[in-house]
């Protein structure tokens, strides 16, 4: 078998993590589909490697295109008030900076989100456009170009709207297979002094927190400042800003500008030096990370088996994409986690991918409360624990597995 190669530069990848065969993380079958042997039967190899040359961490396997989610599964908002506030703040900041005092400014978002950024920008009177193949936006008044951002779709948009001051993307670039195509689109779309701002899970935080559940089919890339700098330079851009974000378990926001247009902020050199000093993608560090991942699996299985033996009741909380990685990798099924409560109506009455754990509405959580709740949305822990305070007040305990298995 030929070794997997980097999607951007073609260099062989050094595989450092192999979590086995997994179903697509958004394939929630109905019980009838599951009985008929359908709904979540596709499997792909969930393994990750680092490029020897450009340091880009990426999945080595892929879900066959026809089973990618865009076809049948609508985007599910995180349902998090913390995330909505995060996006509102982001939009206000762009309005104060990049979009400020520039006459008839034009802002673009790639990928569908809760729609808060576009709504906030539009309400401030700034023209906007979303590039989203599904046509969906959480902001129902959004103007949406039903296409990926590529050179062709960008030219169409520029012909109609002119060039953009800002292109923004949250939790989207990490899932774009064709990064050269994306940069060709940015080159067409951005004004000469425009910026591309994007944020995604930060590989440095994934390693620090042993957050192996960030690995799933819809996250192809796990960026670092080092790899984003190389990526930008390959396509005529520069990394001119980085900012750590506390959301989703630790993200980085990157600002790219055309080469020669802006001086990088001091924070860029700072984080590059930190990544270099920490040997973030060195083989030894990655091997240690893989060892810690294995340890989380054995600890979590031992804990849940112990609770079952002691007749303690357990429920899962939040049927996230991350939960698909955890249940599949750890071999957790309904005998250890009988059901998962989740706030997404479209998931209710369905089964989780692969593990086939029934998903119930949040109201089922208190009817009656389990003794233990396994929190699969640990990135929203503060918000969820505050909302479910009565669970812990009544003696319930949360099980977390990041950065290691523990009970609170
Ligand atoms: P997110 O971390 O965005 O999940 P993913 O791993 O799929 O990207 O969390 C969103 C999921 O968590 C979604 O299925 C809804 C669920 N959820 C709840 O059930 N209750 C909550 O309070 C929150 C914030 C999320
Ligand atoms: Zn590479």
| pLDDT tens digit sequence for 139-163 | 888 999 999 999 999 999 999 999 9
- CB atoms < 10 A from the CB of 192, how many? 8
Confidence band for 100, pLDDT divided at 50, 70 and 90: very high
68 Cα: distance to centroid of ligand 1 (angstroms): 20
Half-sphere exposure of 325 (CA within 13 A, CB side): 23
263 CB-near residues (< 8 Å, 6+ apart): 240
Q: Which CATH superfamily is domain 77-272 in?
A: Vaccinia Virus protein VP39 (3.40.50.150)
167 Cα: distance to centroid of ligand 2 (angstroms): 24
- CB atoms < 10 A from the CB of 243, how many? 15
Average pLDDT estimate for 45-53: 97
Mutate to test the pocket of ligand 1, among 24, 318, 389 (most ligand atoms within 8 A of CB): 318
223 Cα: distance to centroid of ligand 2 (angstroms): 12
Average pLDDT estimate for 34-39: 92
Residue 184 reports pLDDT greater than 70: yes
- CB atoms < 10 A from the CB of 386, how many? 8
Please state the φ and ψ torsions of residue 89, each to the nearest 5 degrees. -65, -40
Give, using CA atoms, the residue closest to atom 3 of ligand 1: 78
Mutate to test the pocket of ligand 1, among 73, 320, 339, 387 (most ligand atoms within 8 A of CB): 320
Give, using CA atoms, the residue closest to atom 12 of ligand 1: 318
Q: What CATH class does 284-407 carry?
A: alpha beta
Give the C-alpha separation, 193 to 98, whole Å: 10
320 Cα: distance to centroid of ligand 1 (angstroms): 5
Residues with CB under 6 A from ligand 1: 76, 78-80, 318-322, 342-344, 377, 379-380, 383-384, 387
pTM recorded for the entire structure: 0.96
Give the C-alpha separation, 402 to 296, whole Å: 8
Model confidence pLDDT, tens digit, residues 360-373: 999 999 999 999 99
Which ranges in the chain are annotated with CATH 3.40.50.720?
284-407
Which ranges in the chain are annotated with CATH 3.40.50.150?
77-272
pLDDT of residue 291: 98
Average pLDDT estimate for 358-385: 98
């Amino acid at each position: 078998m030929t070794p997997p190669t980097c999607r951007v530069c073609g260099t062989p990848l050094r595989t450092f993590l192999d979590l086995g065969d997994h179903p697509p993380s958004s394939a929630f079958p109905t019980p009838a589909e599951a009985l008929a042997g359908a709904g979540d039967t596709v499997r792909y190899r969930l393994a990750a490697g680092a490029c020897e040359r450009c340091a880009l961490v990426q999945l080595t396997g892929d879900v066959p295109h026809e089973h990618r989610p865009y076809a049948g599964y609508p985007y599910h908002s995180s349902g998090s008030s913390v995330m909505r506030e995060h996006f509102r703040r982001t939009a206000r900041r762009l309005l104060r900076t990049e979009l400020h005092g520039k006459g008839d400014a034009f802002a673009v978002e790639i990928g569908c989100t809760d729609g808060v950024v576009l709504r906030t920008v539009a309400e401030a009177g700034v023209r906007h456009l979303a590039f989203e193949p599904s046509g969906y936006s959480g902001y129902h008044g959004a103007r949406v170009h039903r296409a990926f951002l590529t050179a062709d779709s960008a030219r169409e948009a520029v012909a109609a709207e002119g060039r953009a001051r800002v292109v923004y993307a949250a939790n989207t670039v990490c899932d774009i297979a064709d990064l050269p195509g994306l940069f060709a689109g940015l080159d067409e779309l951005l004004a000469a002094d425009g910026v591309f701002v994007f944020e995604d899970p930060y590989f440095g935080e994934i390693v620090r927190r042993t957050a192996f559940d960030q690995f799933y089919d819809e996250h192809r890339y796990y960026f670092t400042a080092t790899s984003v700098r190389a990526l930008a330079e390959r396509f005529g851009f520069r990394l001119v800003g980085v900012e750590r974000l506390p959301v989703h378990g630790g993200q980085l926001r990157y600002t790219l500008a055309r080469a020669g247009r802006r001086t990088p902020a001091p924070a860029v050199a700072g984080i590059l030096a930190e990544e270099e000093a920490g040997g973030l993608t060195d083989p030894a560090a990655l091997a240690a990370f893989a060892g810690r991942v294995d340890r989380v699996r054995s600890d979590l299985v031992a804990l849940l088996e112990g609770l079952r033996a002691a007749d303690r009741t357990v429920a899962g909380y939040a049927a996230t994409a991350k939960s698909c990685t955890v249940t599949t990798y750890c071999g957790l099924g309904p005998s250890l986690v009988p059901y998962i409560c989740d706030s997404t109506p479209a998931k209710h009455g369905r089964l989780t991918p692969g593990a086939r754990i029934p998903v119930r509405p949040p109201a089922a959580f208190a009817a009656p409360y389990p003794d233990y709740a396994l929190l699969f949305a640990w990135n929203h822990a503060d918000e969820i624990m505050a909302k479910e305070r009565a669970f812990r007040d009544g003696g319930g305990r949360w099980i977390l597995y990041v950065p290691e298995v523990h009970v609170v």
